[in-house]
Structure 1
């Protein structure tokens, strides 16, 4: 059974036409199934867990990056693949990096059913697919227990698994969500190569580190905020995802 999770913002009247087109395309492709619409009274974790227990063949997140982030935190470790139907270009950089077109085009990707296993970043008990970030000031990073970096300048610490938002990433980053490694970079207003001064390289690959900041949370995929101390690691091949041919890795 195919299960579709519609994000709550799609309950707005302005999205009626696009969701109707998607449902028509899904039916034409023989992919019709159960539609669940999120709302104040529906918990996505319980919903997805129950659908997997009932034998869902695919769980498809319909919405944007935030929808995907919440879905993966319910599906990590499951063999059931995640499908994605992005609605509008806004806040849908993850789908684009996975080679998934918008709306009806995404239905064709679902039909092709090209499934690959992806690594996930793990921050304490939460997961992220694309990236995690935190404000620089007041942040201390302990890398692989060998040394620590304390950042005093304004800017941002970025941790990348999937290079979804290329505009905010260093030019030479080459993230691959199948290599078992995460990449760390530090941006400051004064210098774009702050980390290079410390390590000899502008991108620092790692498998585990700890972040401490008493004043700012770590933000996962622009959605989930968690307070420190936070241990960040990579969970290898933790998620099956239906992807397109034009993916960025």
Structure 2
């Protein structure tokens, strides 16, 4: 039994034709289900708990990265499989999972390749792709063993579970099934006339603490914003997701 959770952005008129087409495809594939529309007034955890009680086995987030962030934090620890259908802008996570369109998503859900995926945990919330530090000046303490300090305000710092699109494939990092997260630090090494080149350093870890000379913002999966200091740790095999054959892990 499927539960499709529609982001509030889908109420916009420009998405209606594509939404109707998606619903027809799901019905034709035999994977239609109950539809529930998200809103600030709806208790998502309570909704999912009630739907699981009546037999829902698969929850599909229909929307963007922010939608997926909300749904993941509502289903962690529950016996359901998570799927995603990307709509609108800001769908980095769907692309990272090899899902590049609504049609891709419906076929992927139908094919139903299920993988256990690690999550990142920042304080008490979970993320699947990455957490981005807006201020590049930070001190990162690794598992109480050593620390890395970034002194350049122009540094880019990301805690990654999935491989970022701008990082070449084939590296032995960014595997969401290895029980580790990866800290990606990019420091400006050379400025040209048209672009700046960045030197990349990657540090695998299971737990870090991040602080800085001043309070910095950390955005998880393009959604919730946290303020330093924070603790981030790997949460191995935390969720079951429907993934595409075209994924890069």
TM-score by length of 1: 0.89
Q: Which residue of 1 aligns with 2:35?
A: 35
Task: Please identify runs of 4+ aligned residues in structure 1 that moved more than 6 A.
Answer: none
5 Å-filtered alignment, 1:30-69, equals: 30-69=30-69
Q: How big is the shift at 1:136?
A: 4.0
Unaligned runs of 5+ in 2: 191-197
Q: Which residue of 2 aligns with 1:175?
A: 174
Q: In the TM superposition, what whole-angstrom CA distance separates every residue of 1:76-129 from its partner, at most 9, and x where no partner exists?
A: 2323100111125x3112112212241133111111111110000111101110
Partner of 1:175, secondary structure, is coil
- When residues 40 and 243 of structure 1 are mapped into structure 2, their CA distance, relative to the original with a 3 A threshold, is same
Higher strand proportion = 2
Q: Which residue of 1 aligns with 2:111?
A: 112
Q: How big is the shift at 1:65?
A: 1.3
Q: Which residue of 1 aligns with 2:81?
A: 81
Cα RMSD (Å) of the superposition? 1.9
Is 1:134 aligned to residue 139 of structure 2?
no
Q: In the TM superposition, what whole-angstrom CA distance separates every residue of 1:206-228 from its partner, at most 9, and x where no partner exists?
A: 11110114421211111111122
2-side partners of 1:227 and 1:50: how far apart? 33
Partner of 2:104, secondary structure, is helix
Paired positions, count: 239
Unaligned runs of 5+ in 1: 195-201
2-side partners of 1:40 and 1:135: how far apart? 26
2-side partners of 1:160 and 1:177: how far apart? 9
TM-score by length of 2: 0.89
2-side partners of 1:226 and 1:47: how far apart? 25
